[in-house]
Amino acid sequence: MNIGVVVFPGSNCDHDCAHVFRDVLGQDVTMVWHKETSLVGLDAVILPGGFSYGDYLRTGAIARFSPVMGAVTTFAGNGGLVVGVCNGFQILLEAGLLPGAMLRNRSLHFVCKDVYVRVENAATPFTSLYTPGQILKIPIAHADGNYYTDPVTLAGLQANAQVMFRYCTADGKVTPEACPNGSLDNIAGICNAGGNVLGMMPHPERCVETVLGHEDGRALFQSMITSLEGKKLTGVR
Amino acid sequence: MKAKIHVTLKQGILDPQGRAIEHALDSLGFKHAANVRVGKYMELDLNQTDKAKAEVEVKAMCEKLLANTIIEEYRYELG
């Protein structure tokens, strides 16, 4: 597979994402500068974490108008797999590819630590190698991860199983105390209605090798590859 | 023409910065201060003499970029 990793001015997790796909999972990786207007030939696209445009105005607010985002929108509209991690998630929200918005963390602090999340939907191309309800230990590193949306949209996300990950305790209890940022309904990650665009604040690319701590994030990327290989075999795109 | 634009979190949305400032004011003895809301202030020059057209333009700027209307509201003055 050929995985595109978009590079915005200020991205800083782009090489981590490339490392996972290229060196850990043995895939081809194409770094895509934000000025690009085509994603032809790519099988999936990653919007990595970082501080695109210095987080000026609002996180992701300026990056979402980068030339590449038109191509990302088309790619997603055609059913292509798109993942936004951390700042990538914020960009997807600003671009309207996912519903809602990010507020400043409830604590006002930049929070950088391992947290636990529960896999709420294991029937997507991003989570098929997890089990439903599986608890992942995964790092977060953000100041604006306090997910907010209006009550009607939230109800829709819940009803359509678009809430993918929720912050929880080590034994899987979804409690207000287990939420590191004040996110509505402990939301750590959501997908779009089509199930092909994922946004999440935790960094799965930072936990794919035991030598770097733990590897609960690896199955997310492996799930994507498995899904893409399945589609190639059946000729469906 | 100059546009002066204020963007704040919508009423009803928790403003953690505003709350922190409120606590700080309280601890400094300003006991009458309440409901502190933090926002952004932007000003820009518009090369436009028609006020109605300027207003359309500034509103579009706010809707498209300057405010995220899911969580924020905006107001502006032209002059």
Which of B68, B69, B72 is the best residue to mutate to test the A interface, defined by the most A CB atoms within 10 Å of its own CB?
B68
Q: How close B45 gets to chain A, by Cα (Å)?
A: 18
**Taking 80 as the threshold, does the pLDDT of residue A237 lie above it?**
no
The pLDDT score that the predictor gives to residue A236 is 58
Average pLDDT, chain A: 96
Q: Say yes or no for a CB contact (<8 Å) between A103 and B13.
A: yes
**Taking 60 as the threshold, does the pLDDT of residue A151 lie above it?**
yes
Q: Say yes or no for a CB contact (<8 Å) between B16 and A105.
A: yes
pLDDT tens-place string over residues A51-62? 999 999 999 999
Name the residues of A annotated as catalytic.
Answer: 86, 203, 205
Q: Say yes or no for a CB contact (<8 Å) between B68 and A94.
A: yes
Q: What is the mean pLDDT of residues A71-84?
A: 98
The pLDDT score that the predictor gives to residue A31 is 98
Size of interface A-B (CB pairs under 8 A): 34
Q: Say yes or no for a CB contact (<8 Å) between B68 and A101.
A: yes
**Taking 90 as the threshold, does the pLDDT of residue A233 lie above it?**
no
**Taking 60 as the threshold, does the pLDDT of residue A16 lie above it?**
yes
Instruction: Name the DSSP letter for residue B66.
Output: I
Confidence of residue A213 (pLDDT cuts 50, 70, 90): confident
The pLDDT score that the predictor gives to residue A212 is 85
Q: What is the mean pLDDT of residues B17-36?
A: 94
For residue A228, give the 3-state DSSP assignment: helix
Confidence of residue A232 (pLDDT cuts 50, 70, 90): confident
Q: Which of B13, B20, B68 sits opposite A58 (nearest CB)?
A: B68
What DSSP string describes A79-143? T-EEEEETHHHHHHHHTTSSS-EEE--TT-S-EEEEEEEEES--SSTTTTTSPTT-EEEEEEEES
What domains sit in chain B, N to C, each tagged with a CATH number?
A: 2-78 (3.30.1280.10)
**Taking 60 as the threshold, does the pLDDT of residue A171 lie above it?**
yes
Instruction: Name the DSSP letter for residue A171.
Output: T
What domains sit in chain A, N to C, each tagged with a CATH number?
A: 2-234 (3.40.50.880)
The pLDDT score that the predictor gives to residue A231 is 85
Torsion on CA atoms A162, A167, A173, A178, rounded to nearest 10: -150
**CB < 8 Å to B40, chain A:** 57
Euclidean distance between CA atoms A145 and A143, whole angstroms: 6
Instruction: Name the DSSP letter for residue A212.
Output: G
**CB < 8 Å to A94, chain B:** 68
Q: How close A148 gets to chain B, by Cα (Å)?
A: 8
- 8 A C-beta contact, residue A84 and residue A199: yes
Instruction: Name the DSSP letter for residue A197.
Output: E
Q: What's the distance, CA A159 to chain centroid?
A: 20
The pLDDT score that the predictor gives to residue A187 is 98
Question: Could you tell me which chain A residue has the CA closest to the CA of B41?
Answer: A57
Average pLDDT, chain B: 95
Q: How close B2 gets to chain A, by Cα (Å)?
A: 20
pLDDT tens-place string over residues B28-64? 999 999 999 999 999 999 999 999 999 999 999 999 9
Range with lowest mean pLDDT among A158-172, A183-197, B9-23: B9-23
The pLDDT score that the predictor gives to residue A235 is 66
Q: Measuring CA to CA, which residue among A58, A206, A24, A216 is closest to residue A134?
A: A216
For residue A236, give the 3-state DSSP assignment: coil
- 8 A C-beta contact, residue A60 and residue A90: yes
Confidence of residue A19 (pLDDT cuts 50, 70, 90): very high
Euclidean distance between CA atoms A96 and A60, whole angstroms: 11
